[in-house]
Amino acid sequence: MPKPLDIHHFLQGSGPILDVRSPGEYEHGHIPSAVSFPLFTDDERAQVGTCYKQVGREAAVELGFDLAGPKCGEFIRAAKALAPDRQLRVHCWRGGMRSGGMGWILELAGFTVHTLEGGYKAYRRWVRETLATPRPIVILGGMTGSGKTQILQALADLGEPVLNLEGLANHRGSSFGALLLPPQPSTEHYENLLAQRWATFQTERPIWLEAESRRVGTCRIPDELFAQMEAAPAVEVVRSLDERLDLLVEIYGEAASAELVEATQRIRKRLGGDRTQAAIQHIHAGNLRAACAIILDYYDRTYRYDLERRQRVIPQLDITGLSPVESARLLIEKLPQLCPQLAPKVLT
């Protein structure tokens, strides 16, 4: 029989992770390194569930064998392609019949199989516990167009620990944030991605995160992590308006006019009717820079209001004229002076 492992040993184990839940369950959220390897289709899973509720466990088990039995050869061939060394990890939702059944099939075919105690539910508990683990962090703030995302990437390239909240969410955090990016993950899977990255930070160096509200597009930052962000020291980078406009035109210059107009319409109530119409006219005329200048006025006012609401003084660092790499190096150099509240050993 397959050997069950707790979540920590399971994640550190060898061989591909096969998620034998239905495709819909996998799509909603999964262990980031797991491969979708469904025992049942979404429709088959619904049939078995209905049978369990209306008739009972024994009938549901028989139906499950009827549905999965003809696919056993397909399962074995697919597993061979994924794991030539015959080492596999398998999980389902609760660590019950589906992972046990798939593990039994694959063990008969000569695989060494480990299952996950408690299944995906145990993994989700691990996600919440991991995100609640306190770590030293520093928040990178700055007005829209300051190049924070590029600076975070430069910090990572220089060896600094970085948690890219927008990158993992496939969203830049504004009404325009989804343009030219892949679809966003579900909030559940976003949490999984964040936890996977958070667990890799085994360092006393502060972890860099961009200043964000609770939501990044449709993804919600977990409460455990957001509470740490709210209490963390922050640094604000400052660029000239011309440079910020240059960067926004560079980022959104390839977006379709219709998408830019739709994103502008979404902030009509806050931007104002006249300004919204003027920005849209500039977009139609191909003058994205002029449109961005109007839209930035709204985002700048929102940014200042948020700072005033928090009644928090954030040290500034002028990076006008600097590349992302130069900005990152300056941030690393100046961090002890900008955030002296961070313990000295954290910055050495």
Judged by DSSP in three states, 234 sits in: strand
Catalytic residue flag (residue 92): yes
Give exposure, 87-103, as e/b (b: 16+ Cβ within 10 Å).
Answer: ebbbbbbebebbbbbbb
Rounded Cα distance between 302 and 144, Å, is: 10
Rounded Cα distance between 205 and 137, Å, is: 8
Strands of 142-298, DSSP E = 162-163, 207-210, 215-216, 219-220, 234-238
The residues pairing with 112 across neighbouring beta strands, listed in sequence order, are 87
The H-or-E segment that residue 328 falls in is helix 324-338
Q: Choosing from 51, 92, 292, 339, which is the catalytic residue?
A: 92
Q: How many CB atoms lie within 10 A of CB 284?
A: 13
Pick from 15, 161, 176: nearest CA to 91: 15
Return the active site residues. 92
